[in-house]
Amino acid sequence: MNIVKKLSSKNLFIFNLVLIGAIFGFSLAFLSFSCSTPKAQAKAQENPVIIPEDALKIAEGLQTVFRSVSDKVLPSVVELKTVSVRRQQIPNIPGIPWDFFFGPRDRGGQDRERRAEGLGSGIIVRNKDGVYYILTNHHVVEGASEIKVSTRNGKEYTGTLVGSDERKDLAMVSFKTNDSYPLAALGDSDKVAVGDWAIAMGNPLGEQFSFSVTMGIVSALGRTGGPGGNINDFIQTDAPINQGNSGGPLVNIRGEIIGINTWIASNTTGGGNVGLGFAIPINNTKRSIDEFISKGSISYGWLGVLLMEPGKETAEALGLDGKKGALAAQVFIDSPADKGGIKPGDFITHVNGKEVRGVQQIQLIVGDLKPGDKAAFTVIRDKKAVDFQVRIEARTDQAAANNSKLWPGLSVIPLNDQLREALELDKDVKGLFVSDVTSGSPADVIGLKRGDRIMSVNGEKIGDIAAFFKTLREKTGNELWFGFQRGDATLESPKFKR
């Protein structure tokens, strides 16, 4: 017991010693911290962080601009809610056990309605006798049987589809009211430059986020490749755009509409924003607005050429390296282009003195020309610039789809080593490879097929694609025939007479 007591006393002594040391250390640290804090505070006060007044004024000024732009434009922005009704036929599926007892019953012809809801945006651009006109996208209202227009002040109106155009992806909706709404100010998209401020407005992802404003810059101009065969050249922006923003405005720093938000490029499921938004330039819509209101549809000017971007070998052979424009690969017989002197193989570089970048821009420019207008076209022919005056006609679906008048009705590309290898041809084999034959065209009628190799045109031997187009232009006149190879056979087509 004495030993236990001694050990216990020793342990108690050590514990007390540790406890006293801990208390002493804590007290010393607290005292040190208390002493040092006023010094640190005093030091901080000696070197305070000051926001420069000049910089703050600039930032606040920019903030005021964004507020003002939002206040100016948002009352003209609307939310478009659509309902599309589709009918689906109910399949005739045998019923059990009723068919077993009473025999099969005919359920054919029974339909079921399917209602699909959609959401988009629009911008008020006109007012005529209490009828407000909203510019939006075709795909926002496509197939809609019901349209509801909601404004920022919480009111809702019944919308009426005035007109819609798939090629430009534009549409117009109207609503009638005695209430007063401001009209959007339309800017000049030709003056937009990369790096400009860009402000997107609309109703992304549903009513919870309606009338949102996002900000970015203009990332690029003249973008092509929109969905659904859209012929516009787009403004690209990194201002966040999501589903539901379609049809809403893209605005500049002055509160002017420079574009209509239309589509996004995204690698996320459901098409989330990744900073790649595209808007139809507002100048592409101005004539369309007038035509929608006056007649409910858009008319297009027609040139009558089939345009393409030439490949590398074709561009080199025609002397087009580094040139901007589009190749008139084929021309419709008796079209404005044909009457005006434009021929297959002409490379269009300017329309009315304006340099063109490619196929879609030419389509836009020509489409916006009025029937009867005379337009100046500059083309490169035989490596020289030549000018033509062409009287534009109205585009009709019938004329544009009349393949029987598409001259010559086939597309050719130069044979290169890659093609020769794929076709198992010797390296010294000449000719032009037929890459496409249009159904119902002259070339189709006289029997040409994809994969044939053109050796001559109207008896003239063809060495390259420049000679092909030159012979078409100068030797074909009112009739056309080809010498060609198909496999190992050398053939000559019958003559086609215009």
Residue 353 buriedness (CB in 10 A; 0-12 / 13-18 / 19+)? exposed
pLDDT at 342: 97
Token representation of residue 150: 């909601």
- Strands across the sheet containing 111-128: 156-158, 146-151, 77-89, 111-128, 131-136, 170-176, 160-165
H-only helix segments in 95-204: 98-102, 138-141
pLDDT digit string, tens, across residues 266-294: 766 555 667 799 999 999 999 999 999 99
Asked whether the predicted pLDDT for residue 487 surpasses 90, the reply is: no
Most confident of 13-27, 177-191, 196-210: 177-191
pLDDT in tens, 340-397: 999 999 999 999 999 998 998 999 999 999 899 999 999 999 999 999 999 999 999 8
Q: Work out the average pLDDT over 105-121.
A: 73
Location of structure tokens 């290169």: 416
- CATH 2.40.10.10 domain span(s) along the chain: 189-295
Going by pLDDT thresholds of 50, 70 and 90, the confidence category of residue 473 is very high
Inter-residue contact 464 to 410 (CB < 8 Å): no
Does the N-terminal peptide bond of residue 344 adopt cis geometry, omega within 30 degrees of 0? no
pLDDT at 43: 56
% residues pLDDT > 90 (the chain): 66
Residue 418 has pLDDT above 90, yes or no: no
- Asked if residue 267 lies in contact with residue 315, where contact means CB atoms within 8 angstroms, the answer is no
Amino acid sitting at position 436: D
Q: Which CATH architecture has domain 189-295?
A: Beta Barrel (2.40)
In single-letter form, the type of residue at position 23 comes to I
- Identify which has the larger pLDDT, 246 or 116: 246
Q: What is the pLDDT of residues 199-213, one digit of tens each?
A: 999 999 877 788 999
Is residue 76 within 8 A of residue 184, CB to CB? The reply is: yes
The listed CATH number (2.40.50.140, 3.40.50.12780, 2.30.42.60, 3.20.20.70) that belongs to domain 408-497: 2.30.42.60
- Please give the mean pLDDT across all residues of the chain: 86
pLDDT tens column, 44-102:
556 678 888 899 999 999 999 999 999 999 999 999 999 988 766 655 555 555 555 55
Helices (H), 296-400: 312-317, 336-340, 359-367, 397-400
**Which residues are identified as catalytic?**
139, 169, 246
pLDDT band at 33 (very low <50, low <70, confident <90, very high): very low
Identify the CA nearest to 335 among candidates 411, 434, 410, 401.
401
User: What is the band of 298 on the pLDDT scale with cuts at 50, 70, 90?
Assistant: very high
Tokens standing for residue 106 = 């005919």
Distances (CA, A) of 108 to 103, 104, 111, 112, 231: 15, 12, 9, 12, 42
CATH for the stretch 301-403: 2.30.42.10
Positions of CATH 2.30.42.10 in the chain: 301-403
Give ranges for CATH 2.30.42.60 in the chain: 408-497
Angle (CA) 486-490-491 rounded to 5° is 85
